[in-house]
């Protein structure tokens, strides 16, 4: 009798566990208060204000003098110790004598309309791009795109035309999007939080409110890096509002997955790994263990003591450029670390890269952007409730081969059970929209087609 009761209890627990794993939990939709001092009693200004990126002679002179007086560490080794100082010297030359182009890049940034909008009393910057023309009887699909670190809203400038004006850029006009790209609070022109605890969930709440204020009741969302986590949190928060979630990076590591990686090269089929998964994940030491150790040093610093290194970066434009551009080298392709120039100009122009650096320098936001790691990772990512929650929103994923860590489809389906599209991309790395805009745009369109066909 007792054995029967015991077995029945175990069976009941197992059934309950499986059912509870699939229940559609949602994150609470709260306001919070992230501005300075105490929360005002007055009604928040809900107007959307045009914003113009500007510069001044004082700003240009300041950076020119700082760059001109730079001091570079003597070079001892030619490779694998970070960006070579000789190449940093070339960047400095471009910056000081050519990159008064910042004056022209400010004009280039005006290609799309910028806005500021107060959300929970934080001024949030965003660009809003509507299609220049629409096919008859076609409505644009609202799409929120969210950047990460050390990127910015500028990462999306080259992908936007493929989404908003596809016919004039070699794609069909079956799907035409209206694109909104906000800056994460504490990045570029978005005001930083004045309170502790401002994490990806708080950001998701603000961006959701932004979409509502813009008049969108349902919308698509897309992100990589921090944008991936923020968009995932939005889908966990308001699943009925998010029509579809598209990612090019995912935070899906679990202890069980790590165990399967250890055995996966030999028994990959048992764990649902495809031949391409195995190519991207092995040899394990190089593509998993060494990759994490080699590329995660910055993360340990920024998730523990971001202000310390931030003081140095906020004082030296050359140091800031070296720190940021090194990420655009090895995160685009790990093999670029063996090249004297870091391979930077194989995928990007220095003008574009330095524009991104200038968005940190001129706004003084490198410290606040790094604090985002402290808020999200200071207690460990798994300490957050959202990491244990599944996402019950139709999801698409683009697996770029040079991403920092490959996420197999089997892993994605554990957290995103409504995965409707998973693509192995032909080339590209971490900064997908910046590096391979057409490829990413095509996969977003493929995902929307698969979703609407369903």
pLDDT at 435 over 90: yes
Look at residue 96 in the predicted model and tell me its pLDDT: 67
Residue 444 and residue 176: Cα distance in Å, rounded? 11
In this structure, what DSSP letter does residue 168 have? G
DSSP line for 184-214: PTTSTTSPPPSSTT--HHHHHHHHHHHHHHT
The CB-side HSE value for 325 (13 A sphere, CA atoms) comes to 30
Which has the higher per-residue pLDDT, 133 or 420? 420
Look at residue 183 in the predicted model and tell me its pLDDT: 97
Report yes or no on 411 lying in a domain.
yes
pLDDT at 79 over 60: no
Report yes or no on 69 lying in a domain.
no
DSSP line for 314-356: TT-HHHHHHHHHHHHHHTT-GGGGGSTTTTHHHHS-HHHHHHH
Report yes or no on 374 lying in a domain.
yes
Residue 425 and residue 442: Cα distance in Å, rounded? 10
Report pLDDT digits (tens) over 148-171.
Answer: 999 999 999 999 999 999 999 999
Instruction: For residue 174, count other CB atoms closer than 10 A to its CB.
Output: 13
Report pLDDT digits (tens) over 169-192.
Answer: 999 989 999 999 999 999 999 999
pLDDT at 10 over 60: no
- Beta strands at 219-223 and 141-146: parallel, antiparallel or unpaired: parallel
Helices 366-377 + 226-237 axis angle, to 10: 50
pLDDT at 300 over 60: yes
The contacts of residue 9 (CB under 8 Å, 6+ apart) are none
Mean of the pLDDT values across residues 37-56? 85
In this structure, what DSSP letter does residue 288 have? I
Instruction: For residue 216, count other CB atoms closer than 10 A to its CB.
Output: 18
Mean of the pLDDT values across residues 300-319? 93
Highest mean pLDDT: which of 12-21, 85-94, 248-257, 404-413? 404-413
The contacts of residue 217 (CB under 8 Å, 6+ apart) are 241
Residue 106 and residue 124: Cα distance in Å, rounded? 19
Look at residue 22 in the predicted model and tell me its pLDDT: 57
Residue 54 and residue 110: Cα distance in Å, rounded? 9
Report pLDDT digits (tens) over 84-116.
Answer: 777 888 787 777 655 555 766 787 788 888 888
Look at residue 32 in the predicted model and tell me its pLDDT: 81
The contacts of residue 180 (CB under 8 Å, 6+ apart) are 126, 127, 128, 129, 142, 143, 144, 145, 210, 211, 214
Report yes or no on 351 lying in a domain.
no
In this structure, what DSSP letter does residue 441 have? H
Report yes or no on 429 lying in a domain.
yes
pLDDT at 199 over 90: yes
The CB-side HSE value for 212 (13 A sphere, CA atoms) comes to 11
Look at residue 104 in the predicted model and tell me its pLDDT: 62
Instruction: For residue 418, count other CB atoms closer than 10 A to its CB.
Output: 17
Predicted TM-score (pTM) above 0.85: yes
Which has the higher per-residue pLDDT, 116 or 310? 310
Do the beta carbons of residue 181 and residue 207 sit within 8 Å?
A: no
Tell whether omega for the bond before 150 is within 30 degrees of 0, i.e. cis.
yes
Mean of the pLDDT values across residues 1-13? 45
Look at residue 101 in the predicted model and tell me its pLDDT: 58
Q: How confident is the model at residue 401 (pLDDT cuts 50, 70, 90)?
A: very high
What rounded mean pLDDT belongs to the chain? 87
Look at residue 378 in the predicted model and tell me its pLDDT: 81
Report yes or no on 24 lying in a domain.
no
Q: How confident is the model at residue 42 (pLDDT cuts 50, 70, 90)?
A: confident
pLDDT at 6 over 70: no
Residue 189 and residue 369: Cα distance in Å, rounded? 11
- Nearest residue to 235 (alpha-carbon basis) of 249, 251, 221: 221
Q: Domain total for the chain? A: 1
Look at residue 128 in the predicted model and tell me its pLDDT: 97
pLDDT at 12 over 60: no
Residue 65 and residue 68: Cα distance in Å, rounded? 5
Alpha helices by DSSP H, listed for 112-222, are 160-164, 200-213
Report yes or no on 90 lying in a domain.
no
**Active site members:** 225, 373, 430
Q: Which H or E element spans position 419?
A: strand 419-424
Look at residue 414 in the predicted model and tell me its pLDDT: 92
pLDDT at 19 over 60: no
- Which structure tokens are listed for 322? 């070296």
pLDDT at 260 over 50: yes
The dihedral sign for the CA sequence 305, 307, 249, 79: negative
Mean of the pLDDT values across residues 346-359? 91
- What residue has token string 């340990």? 300
- Which structure tokens are listed for 110? 């005006």
Which has the higher per-residue pLDDT, 263 or 386? 386
Degrees, nearest 5: CA angle 99-56-158: 50
Report pLDDT digits (tens) over 314-343.
Answer: 999 889 999 999 999 999 999 998 888 889
Report yes or no on 326 lying in a domain.
no
CATH of residue 431: 3.40.50.1820
Mean of the pLDDT values across residues 31-48? 84
Which has the higher per-residue pLDDT, 71 or 278? 278
Report pLDDT digits (tens) over 416-430.
Answer: 999 999 999 999 999
Do the beta carbons of residue 419 and residue 320 sit within 8 Å?
A: no
Maximal CA-CA distance, the chain: 87
Domain span holding position 262: 111-314+364-453
Residue 220 and residue 202: Cα distance in Å, rounded? 19
pLDDT at 265 over 80: no
pLDDT at 2 over 50: no
Report pLDDT digits (tens) over 212-250.
Answer: 999 999 999 999 999 999 999 999 999 999 999 999 999
């Amino acid at each position: 009798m007792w054995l029967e009761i015991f077995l029945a209890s175990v069976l009941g627990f197992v059934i309950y566990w499986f059912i509870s794993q699939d229940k559609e939990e949602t994150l609470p939709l709260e306001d919070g208060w992230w501005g300075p001092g105490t929360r005002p009693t007055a009604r928040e200004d809900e107007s959307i204000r045009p914003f113009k990126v500007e510069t001044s002679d004082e700003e240009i002179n300041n950076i020119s003098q700082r760059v001109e007086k730079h001091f570079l560490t003597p070079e001892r080794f030619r490779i694998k110790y970070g960006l070579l100082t000789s190449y940093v010297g070339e960047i400095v030359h471009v910056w000081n004598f050519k990159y008064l182009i910042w004056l022209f890049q400010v004009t280039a940034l005006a290609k799309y309309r910028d806005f500021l909008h107060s959300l929970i009393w934080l001024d949030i910057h965003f660009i809003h791009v509507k299609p220049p023309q629409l096919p008859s009887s076609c409505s644009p699909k609202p799409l929120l795109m969210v950047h990460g670190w050390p990127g910015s809203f500028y990462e999306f400038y080259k992908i936007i035309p493929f989404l908003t004006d596809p016919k004039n850029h070699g794609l069909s006009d079956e799907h035409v999007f209206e694109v909104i790209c906000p800056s994460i609070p504490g990045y570029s022109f978005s005001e930083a939080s004045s309170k502790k605890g401002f994490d990806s969930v708080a950001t998701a709440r603000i961006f959701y409110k932004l979409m509502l204020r813009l008049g969108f009741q349902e919308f698509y969302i897309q992100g990589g890096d921090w944008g991936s986590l923020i968009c995932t949190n939005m889908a966990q928060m308001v699943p009925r509002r998010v029509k579809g979630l598209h990612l090019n990076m995912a935070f899906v590591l679990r202890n069980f997955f790590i165990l399967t990686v250890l055995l996966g090269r030999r028994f990959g089929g048992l764990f649902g790994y495809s031949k391409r998964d195995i190519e991207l994940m092995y040899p394990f030491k190089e593509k998993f263990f060494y990759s994490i150790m080699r590329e995660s040093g910055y993360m340990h610093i920024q998730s523990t003591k971001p202000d310390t290194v931030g003081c140095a970066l906020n004082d030296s434009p050359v140091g800031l450029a070296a720190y940021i551009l090194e990420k655009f080298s090895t995160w685009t392709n790990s093999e670029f670390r063996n090249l004297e120039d870091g391979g930077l100009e194989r995928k990007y122009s220095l003008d574009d890269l330095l524009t991104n650096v200038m968005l940190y320098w001129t706004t003084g936001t490198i410290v606040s952007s790094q604090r985002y790691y402290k808020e999200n990772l200071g207690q460990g990512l798994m300490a957050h409730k959202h990491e244990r929650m599944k996402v019950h929103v139709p999801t698409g994923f683009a697996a770029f081969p040079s991403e920092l860590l490959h996420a197999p489809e089997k892993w994605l389906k554990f957290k995103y059970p409504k995965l409707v599209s998973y693509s192995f991309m032909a080339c590209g790395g971490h900064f997908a929209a910046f590096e391979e805009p057409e490829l990413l745009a095509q996969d977003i369109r493929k995902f929307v087609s698969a979703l609407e066909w369903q």
